[in-house]
Amino acid sequence: MAERDDILESAAQLDNLGSDLSEVEQGFEPHPRHALVDDLACALEGRLQPVLVGEDGVGKGTVVRMLARAMARRDGSLARRTLHGKRIIQVTVPELFSGAIYSNQIEHKVARVAQNCRTERAVLFLDDLSLFLAGGGHDEEGELPGLLMPFLQRGDLRIIGATTPDGWMAIARRNPAFSRLLTPMTVPESSPEETAAVLLARIPDWERRYPVMLSTGALEEAMDLADRLYPWKRFPGKAVDLLEAALALRSAGCRRGGAVTASPPPPPLPRAVGRTDVAEAVRKLTGLPEFLLVPARPASRQTLGEHFRSHVLGQDHVVDALVERIQMIKVRLCAPRRPLGAFLFAGPTGVGKTLVARTLAGLLLGDERRLIRFDMSEFCTIDTVSRFIGENLTRRRTFGLVDAALAEPFPIVLLDEIEKAHRAIFDVLLQVLGDGRLTDESGRTAYFTNALILMTTNLGSDRRVIAHPQVAVDGREAEPRVREAIRRHFRPELLNRLTAVFSFRPLGARDISDVARREVRELGRRQGLVARSVDLRLSSAALDAVIRRGHSFELGVRAMQRAVDELVGVPVAQYLAEHPGVRRRELLVDVDPAMGCTGVRILASPASSSESVSPCVVPEEAASVR
């Protein structure tokens, strides 16, 4: 028992309790917002118990650290004379509970800490005060404020708290008596001028830790990119974090590029870091394309259009409009406080609506899988609206629209078959498309000012003429019917918030041929052929058979995908299953005139290991799909 008391006594000593803020980060002044430091000093001098209330990233902890160093240095410009020589000790919940097991031991330790603070003229800094209110998850939840209150009321213990606005509201709601002993002080987000001053003050420390020489342009670029990519975060924290990550990434890249030698390498020479270097580092961090982040990189209409047309066929009017929007995004001419674009893709199934969304995600995000897709048929009842927005509650957590915006710095959201959603979903979209923000029931707010919202619908496409391919081949005759169906289904205020409504057109004969070749190429890239180093080719007759089978105005490209699987995939799979030793060959798919179906044979094989082939006629010319 005596040993346990000794442990508690030792843990209650301030030198063992937490971090002395006057002894850390001596090398630089990270936060030039002296007015906040002066207000905090006045509160302490007036025997108040101040609590800094502000969002994450606004610099609450840095204000406290500045005051701690001013008090230790006896700096009269920031700390009053009565505060000179005092210490500020930062304490966490685990540190405050360490060494204590039972409730009476916790009470004894708190009393000893208060006595030591009074003796040594120290102030406790309780960061994230709402955690102390909950007891840090211990069984003694809610007991800690009750233990602190007598010492705060008598003035035997001085504290500085820090929390978010939501955290302060939780404290006031759960323990009003404890909150009345505290004095909230709002810490606002820093202005652009204050943020620039914060970054300039950190330059000596960054240049000491990394072999770089930071230019003013690099700081401006970091502020600009942080503002564009992380609208839900706060300055100056988001600019500091982004520049810190960029410098660490660049420093790691420089170390990997160096040669490995037996002798210790000489100290690296400082490297100049400018706007382009910061943008390149951010590109690696986010996966966004260089032309979108670096103003000096061109984004020509021809290059962007070729990328889309290599994937999307027969929808040139849609491609041209999206290219124009991407160029507006690059030069930052889109309307502020609204999404970068909101488009409704209308048309029959299988014409490329979802493919356009995936291609756009691949271009702007570097990976089609980063497209955030919602199947709106899952949100057809009123009780699914909260799930669509997103739930971040203890009893239930779901991935919704708020999570989508918080997960990506440049979210591209696809709402598939939007017409199947409940009407209340449209009210949610009104807020997203109009104000560019959305809040879930747990209080999280997501901003969509850096998002692209894409929606698809089949409205008006159920009566399309499909008997003759020559009828309405360009889709223009069906567009009025599609737009009328859209106008009848959606509210005018929703349609008025859309950037554009596109009517997708059925594919023409030339597009159908290109689709067939593309689908065969996709088949040739599947694991079973790549692992065997097998190249796939089609004869002209086989390609014509695939086109005839897969040409459907009603079913679109999906019918072509099934035709390729049936006429090409099935015979290739049968051949490889019967000849498991086939490696590094070219397989030709052709039509067997006798049986009227497709078959497979080896087009070229080493003489030493020839394989038997299925009986089929090989024409003089074969259509290569490699």
In order, the DSSP letters of 562-608 are: HHHIIIIIHHHHHHHHH-TT--S-EEEEEEETTTTEEEEEEEE--GG
Q: Which of 271, 275, 283 is nearest to 218 (CA)?
A: 275
Residue whose structure tokens are 């021809």:
302
Please tell me the predicted confidence (pLDDT) of residue 552.
77
Tell whether the model's pLDDT for residue 556 goes beyond 80: no
Tell whether the model's pLDDT for residue 30 goes beyond 80: no
Please tell me the predicted confidence (pLDDT) of residue 25.
52
- In whole angstroms, what is the distance from residue 538 CA to residue 524 CA? 11
Please tell me the predicted confidence (pLDDT) of residue 599.
65
Residue type, 235: F
- In whole angstroms, what is the distance from residue 77 CA to residue 281 CA? 39
| pLDDT (tens digit per residue) in 444-470 | 889 999 999 999 999 987 644 333 333
Contact of 450 with 413, CB cutoff 8 Å:
no
Residues 357-368 have a mean pLDDT of 95
The answer to whether domain 509-624 has CATH 3.30.465.10 is no
When pLDDT is cut at 50, 70 and 90, the band that residue 24 belongs to is: low
Contact of 136 with 97, CB cutoff 8 Å:
yes
The answer to whether domain 192-252+270-286 has CATH 1.10.8.60 is yes
The Cα angle at residue 332 between residues 326 and 336, in degrees rounded to 5:
110
| pLDDT (tens digit per residue) in 279-320 | 988 988 888 998 998 888 899 999 999 999 999 998 999 999
What 3-state class would DSSP assign to 159? strand
Please tell me the predicted confidence (pLDDT) of residue 8.
62
Distances (CA, A) of 467 to 391, 471, 472: 48, 8, 11
What 3-state class would DSSP assign to 124? strand
Chain centroid offset of residue 583 CA: 42
Please tell me the predicted confidence (pLDDT) of residue 297.
87
Q: Which of 543, 460, 566, 558 is nearest to 507 (CA)?
A: 558
Tell whether the model's pLDDT for residue 387 goes beyond 60: yes
Residue type, 616: C
Residue whose structure tokens are 């120290």:
122
SS (H, E, C) 188-203: CCCCHHHHHHHHHHHH
Tell whether the model's pLDDT for residue 178 goes beyond 50: yes
- In whole angstroms, what is the distance from residue 615 CA to residue 593 CA? 10
Please tell me the predicted confidence (pLDDT) of residue 595.
61
- In whole angstroms, what is the distance from residue 485 CA to residue 362 CA? 31
Q: Which of 269, 294, 267, 270 is nearest to 281 (CA)?
A: 294
The pTM (predicted TM-score) of the whole model is 0.82
- In whole angstroms, what is the distance from residue 63 CA to residue 564 CA? 66
In order, the DSSP letters of 334-388 are: SPTTS-SEEEEEE--TTSSHHHHHHHHHHHHHS-GGG-EEEEGGGG-SGGGHHHH
Contact of 221 with 275, CB cutoff 8 Å:
yes
In sequence order, what are the residues at sequence separation of 6 or more whose Cβ sits closer than 8 angstroms to the Cβ of residue 305?
319, 320, 323
Please tell me the predicted confidence (pLDDT) of residue 606.
39
Classify domain 336-503 at the CATH topology level. Answer: Rossmann fold (3.40.50)
- In whole angstroms, what is the distance from residue 504 CA to residue 361 CA? 19
When pLDDT is cut at 50, 70 and 90, the band that residue 236 belongs to is: very high
When pLDDT is cut at 50, 70 and 90, the band that residue 326 belongs to is: very high
Tell whether the model's pLDDT for residue 615 goes beyond 80: no
Tell whether the model's pLDDT for residue 272 goes beyond 90: no
Of residues 405 and 477, more confidence is placed in 405
What is the greatest pairwise CA distance in the chain?
104
Please tell me the predicted confidence (pLDDT) of residue 608.
33
Cis, bond preceding 32 (omega within 30 deg of 0): no
Of residues 144 and 400, more confidence is placed in 400
Tell whether the model's pLDDT for residue 612 goes beyond 60: no
Please tell me the predicted confidence (pLDDT) of residue 3.
55
When pLDDT is cut at 50, 70 and 90, the band that residue 211 belongs to is: confident
Which of 132-141, 219-228, 555-564 reaches the highest mean pLDDT?
A: 219-228
Considering the chain, what percentage of its residues have pLDDT values greater than 70?
A: 84
| pLDDT (tens digit per residue) in 76-126 | 777 777 888 899 999 988 888 887 777 788 888 889 999 999 999 999 999
What 3-state class would DSSP assign to 416? strand
Common-topology check for domains 2-186 and 336-503 = yes
Please tell me the predicted confidence (pLDDT) of residue 614.
39
Which of 132-141, 183-192, 476-485 reaches the highest mean pLDDT?
A: 183-192
Rounded to the nearest integer, the mean pLDDT of the chain is: 84
Considering the chain, what percentage of its residues have pLDDT values greater than 90?
A: 51
Q: At what angle do helices 103-119 and 2-12 cross, to 10 degrees?
A: 40
Please tell me the predicted confidence (pLDDT) of residue 393.
63
Q: At what angle do helices 353-365 and 301-309 cross, to 10 degrees?
A: 130
- In whole angstroms, what is the distance from residue 540 CA to residue 558 CA? 22
When pLDDT is cut at 50, 70 and 90, the band that residue 380 belongs to is: very high
Using a 10 angstrom Cβ sphere, with 0-12 exposed, 13-18 middle and 19 or more buried, the burial of residue 452 is buried
Please tell me the predicted confidence (pLDDT) of residue 220.
93
The two structure tokens encoding residue 313: 């066929």
Strands 445-447 and 437-439: antiparallel
> What strands, in cross-sheet order, belong to the sheet with 622-624?
597-604, 586-592, 535-539, 622-624
Please tell me the predicted confidence (pLDDT) of residue 596.
60
Please tell me the predicted confidence (pLDDT) of residue 469.
36
The two structure tokens encoding residue 366: 């570097």
Please tell me the predicted confidence (pLDDT) of residue 138.
46
| pLDDT (tens digit per residue) in 413-432 | 999 999 999 999 999 999 99
- Domain boundaries in the chain? 2-186, 192-252+270-286, 336-503, 509-624
Least trusted range by pLDDT, from 37-46, 360-369, 454-463: 454-463
Contact of 58 with 190, CB cutoff 8 Å:
yes
Tell whether the model's pLDDT for residue 258 goes beyond 80: no
Distances (CA, A) of 385 to 244, 377, 391, 424, 444: 39, 12, 10, 7, 16
Please tell me the predicted confidence (pLDDT) of residue 257.
55
Q: Residues 33-44, buried b or exposed e (16+ Cβ, 10 A)?
A: beebbbbbbebb
What is the second-level CATH architecture of the domain 2-186? 3-Layer(aba) Sandwich (3.40)
Q: Which of 136, 409, 181, 184 is nearest to 289 (CA)?
A: 409
Of residues 468 and 172, more confidence is placed in 172
- In whole angstroms, what is the distance from residue 326 CA to residue 328 CA? 5
Q: Which of 483, 341, 352 is nearest to 413 (CA)?
A: 341
